[in-house]
């Protein structure tokens, strides 16, 4: 029996293999593999911040830089493809210095208290953000929103400028805390072309005043936001946080170590999204979906992300 046409997925041409060295060790990977992925094949971990397996690399944080011998500047390991004959160093003095500075520059301007991975890296790289002086007093709400591109007030020599602003709580589902935003672009990508394509948020402003914003800086309920929470799911620093978690943290009752999680299937339509329910004290406190799930890639809609309250509603059950 021969089929009339090819029935299966049109095959893609097999990729050539390229050989390079990473920290002196020979590595062979298929063409197009990033330095990050190539390093992982030999057990070399490169720190990342703005990279996520489900998002297009934006190479904005520069934490993953690696040294390619002969290149003028360092290369972002998350996006730079390995080329044949490349000699790559992932922990040279240049790499170490740039990573340390990236961590210091971030920590001196952003509240990293909800980003334990970053604070651990700071210890590992000997980052001392206090070198830039004491952090400036908190900015008023909307400071970045009202800044004008290409202009800034002269610096105050007594302080290091920060991004701090009071958290924006303008709806019952999530909180935006610009003081914690490292501008990794993950939320913009998740809301935009990589997944949700709602484009409720984008980067606005320029330079140090660049920030994530809705249209005209409007409150979320006046924006295009559809509350899928796919931005929260990818936020690495807690700058975007479900209101429930925000409130529990404020009450000192958020205890990740006391939570357990179970994977089930969202009840709200027939797509079959895996829901990971995070349970604390017998109560669901958060819903996520695994990043490596082929159906969701970590995404959910408003119903899946927030619609589970009914099972623990005290009225009616």
Partner 1 sequence: MFGAGGGTSSYEEVEDTDVVFLWGSNAREAHPIWFHHLLKGIRRHGTRLYVMDPRRTTSAQWADQWLGLRVGSDIALANAMAREIIHAGLANTAFIANATEQFEVYAGAVESYTLEWAEPVTGIPADVIREAAHAFAKADRAMVCWTLGITEHHNAVENVLALINLTLLCGHVGRWGSGCNPLRGQNNVQGGGDMGAIPNKLPGFQDIELDYKARQRFEAAWQCAIPPKAGWNLTQMFHAMERGALSALYVIGENPAQSDADAHRISALLEGLDHLVVQEIFLTKTAQYASVVLPAAASWCEGEGTVTNSERRVQRIRKAVEPPAGARDELAILSDLARRLGHEWGTPSAESVWNEFRTLAPHFAGGMSYARLESLGGIQWPCPDESHPGTQFLHARLWETPRAGRAAPFSIVHHDPPWEARDPEYPFLLTTGRRLESYNTGVQSSSYASPLHRGETLDISPEDATRLGLADGELVRVTSRRGTVDVPARVDASLRANLVFMTLHFPDDVATNLLTIDVADPRSGTAEFKACAVRVEPIGVGAVTLD
Partner 2 sequence: MDTRASSEEQLAVDRVLGAPRSPWDGGARGSHRDYHTASGGAARRAERTMLLPALRALQEHAGWVSEGGLNYVCERLDVPPAEAWGVVTFYALLSTSPRPTRMLHVCDDIGCRQRGGLALCAALRASHGEPAVHEAQGHAVDLAAGQAAWMTSPCLGLCDQAPAALVTDAGPEPVERLLGRVSASAVRDVMAGRALLPDASASPARPQQGSAELVLLARAGTVDPLSLDAYRAAGGYAALARAAQLGPQGVVTELVVSKLAGRGGAAFPTGKKWEAVAAQQATPKYVVCNADESEPGTFKDRVLLTDDPFAIVEAMTIAGFATGATQGYVYIRGEYPLAAERVAQAIEAARRAQLLGANVGGHGFAFDIEVRRGAGAYICGEETALFESIAGRRGEPRNKPPFPVQVGLFGKPTVANNVETLVNVLPIVRHGGAAYASVGSGISTGTRLWCLSGAVQQPGVYETPMTITLAALIARAGGVAPGRTLRAVLLGGAASTFVTPDQLEMPLTFEAARAAGASLGSGVVMVFDDTDDLEDHLLRIAAFFRDESCGQCVPCRVGTVRQEEALHRLKHRRTIGSAADEHALLAEIGAAMKDGSICGLGQTAYAAVESAIKSLGLFSASRA
Question: For binding to partner 2 (CB under 8 A), which residues are involved?
Answer: 58-63, 65, 73-74, 76, 79-81, 94, 97-98, 101-102, 105-106, 108-109, 131-133, 146-155, 157-158, 160-161, 182-183, 192, 198-210, 213-218, 222-224
Using CB under 8 A as the binding rule, the residues of this chain from 135 to 174 that contact partner 1 are: 171-173
d(CA 241, CA 288): 12
By CB under 8 A, the residues from 36 to 65 that bind partner 1 are none
Give the shortest CB-113-to-partner 1 separation in angstroms: 27
Torsion sign, CA atoms 165, 117, 108, 199: negative
Backbone angles phi, psi at 252, to 5 degrees: 70, 20
Residue closer to partner 1, measured from CB, 156 or 283: 283
State the CB neighbour count (10 A cutoff) for residue 168.
17
Q: What are phi and psi of 307, to 5 degrees?
A: -85, 10
Q: Which does 102 bind (CB under 5 to 8 A by kind): partner 1, partner 2, none?
A: partner 2
Toward partner 1, which CB reaches closer, 46 or 287? 287
Among 60, 136, 210, 284, binds partner 1 (CB under 8 A): 284
Measure the CA–CA gap between 136 and 166, rounded to whole angstroms.
Answer: 14
3 belongs to the binding site for partner 1 (CB under 8 A):
yes
Q: How many whole angstroms separate alpha carbon 88 and alpha carbon 215?
A: 42
Hey, which residues does 287 pair with through a beta bridge?
Answer: 277
DSSP label at residue 241 = E
Partner from partner 2, partner 1, none binding residue 216, C-beta < 5-8 Å depending on class: partner 2
What span, in angstroms and rounded, lies between the C-alpha atoms of 267 and 40? 37
- Shortest distance, position 57 Cβ to partner 1, whole Å: 15
CA 193 – CA 187 distance, rounded (Å): 11
317 binds, among partner 1, partner 2, none (CB under 5 to 8 A by kind): partner 1
Is 248 one of the binding residues for partner 1 (CB under 8 A)? no
# of chain residues touching partner 1 (CB under 8 A): 64
Query: In the beta sheet, which residues pair with residue 37?
Result: none
Closest distance to partner 2 from the beta carbon of 18 (Å): 14
Q: CB burial class (10 A; 0-12, 13-18, 19+) of residue 133?
A: middle
- Is residue 143 within a helix (H) or strand (E), and if so which, with residue range? helix 143-146
> Which one of residues 51, 178, 227, 254 is an interface residue with partner 1 (CB under 8 A)?
227
Is residue 196 involved in binding partner 1 (CB under 8 A)?
A: yes
- For residues 38 and 82, is the Cβ–Cβ distance under 8 A? yes
Contacts to partner 1 by CB under 8 A: 1-10, 171-173, 193, 195-197, 220-221, 225-228, 261-275, 277, 279, 282-284, 293-297, 299-304, 306-313, 316-317
């Amino acid at each position: 029996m021969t089929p009339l046409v090819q029935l299966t997925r049109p095959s893609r041409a097999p990729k050539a293999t390229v050989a390079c060295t990473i920290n002196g060790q020979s590595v062979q990977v298929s063409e197009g593999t990033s330095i990050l992925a190539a390093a992982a094949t030999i057990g070399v971990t490169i720190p990342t911040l703005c990279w996520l397996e489900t998002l297009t690399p934006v190479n904005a944080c520069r934490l993953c830089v690696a040294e390619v011998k002969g290149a003028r500047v360092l290369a972002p390991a998350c996006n730079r493809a390995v080329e044949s004959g490349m000699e790559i160093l992932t922990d040279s003095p240049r790499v170490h210095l740039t990573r340390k500075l990236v961590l210091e520059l971030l920590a001196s301007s952003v509240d990293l208290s909800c980003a334990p991975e970053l604070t651990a890296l700071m210890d590992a790289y000997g980052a001392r953000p206090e070198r830039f002086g004491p952090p400036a007093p908190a900015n008023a709400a909307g400071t970045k929103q009202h800044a004008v591109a290409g202009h800034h007030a002269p610096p105050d020599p007594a302080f290091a400028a920060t991004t701090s602003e009071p958290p924006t709580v303008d709806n019952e589902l999530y909180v935006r805390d610009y003081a914690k935003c490292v501008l990794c672009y993950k939320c913009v990508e998740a809301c935009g072309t990589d997944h949700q394509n709602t484009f409720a948020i984008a980067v606005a402003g320029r330079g140090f005043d660049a920030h994530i914003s809705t249209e005209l800086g409007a409150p979320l309920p006046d924006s295009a936001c559809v509350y899928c929470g796919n931005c929260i799911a990818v936020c690495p620093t807690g700058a975007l946080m479900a209101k429930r978690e925000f409130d529990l943290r404020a009450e000192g009752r958020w205890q990740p170590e006391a939570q357990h999680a179970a994977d089930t299937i969202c009840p709200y339509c027939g797509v079959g999204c895996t829901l990971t329910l995070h349970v604390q004290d017998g109560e669901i406190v958060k819903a996520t979906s695994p990043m490596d799930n082929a159906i969701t890639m970590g995404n959910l809609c408003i119903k899946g992300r927030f619609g589970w309250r009914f099972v623990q509603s005290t009225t009616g059950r």
